[in-house]
Amino acid sequence: MAPPPGHRVLLASALGIFVLHCFTGGQKNSTLIFTKENTIRNCSCPADVQDCDYSLANLMCSCRTVLPLALEQTSYSDHLTIWFTDASALGLLLNFTLVRDLKLSLCGTNTLPTDYLAICGLKRLRVNTQAKCLSPEQSLLMLNGGEREPREQPVWFPRGWQTCMYISFLDLALFNRKSSLKAYSIENVASLANNFPYFSYFETFPILSNESYVITFIY
């Protein structure tokens, strides 16, 4: 005997929820951070969200508002996506932050300044400038990628600074043009301040005298 129509609808809905739970249950959430109207939203998402679709992000993801003054030094061992409209918040979110897999999506048409972001341990970078340049998404894989020995533990400085042996400098002006994403690296850099005197970042960045660094410029 077939169940009544109302019961069939409830059964189909329950089955759909069960299948969705089984599909996403084994997946690890990714982090999405977006800035809009002077606010910062930090979201945990079970699946990728179409770039710059703020309404869909608020619907699909678990999001919370973060005050700029409340941002703390942190690290991201998995995928991090940031949607932004200008460069003001990127420095707060990314400078000397450990990020393995990063995607940056420009969600506005503002011209960005010629400035640099300093990112630690970057393995893969994806850039989307479609909102401004109508260019397809670009991807860059770092050969060094900030790999450490398996048993080596990260070293922490006072006040939350993390040792950063692999530093990637990202030129924000790349979001203003349609050229291909490029990068080059300099290895065994022993003195950051002496070799790069024009980068004010190193005035506050804790330097270990007995360590060498790998510096990558992305432009």
- Domain ranges for the chain: 28-218
pLDDT band, residue 10 (cuts 50/70/90): very low
Residue 44 tokens read as 């945990």
* C-beta of residue 14 within 8 angstroms of C-beta of residue 27: no
pLDDT band with cut points at 50, 70 and 90 for residue 111: confident
In whole angstroms, what is the distance from residue 77 CA to residue 120 CA? 11
Q: What is the pLDDT of residue 43?
A: 97
Band of pLDDT at residue 210, cut at 50, 70 and 90: low
Query: Residue 72: which residues within 8 A CB-CB, separation 6 or more?
Result: 160
Give me the pLDDT at residue 44, please: 97
Average pLDDT, the chain: 76
Residue 40 corresponds to which tokens in the numbers above?
């910062």
Degrees, nearest 5: CA angle 77-75-23: 40
Counting every residue written for the chain, the total comes to: 219
- Which stretch of DSSP H or E encloses residue 28? none
pLDDT for residue 38: 79
Name the band, by pLDDT with cuts 50, 70 and 90, for residue 75. confident
Q: Give me the pLDDT at residue 81, please.
A: 97
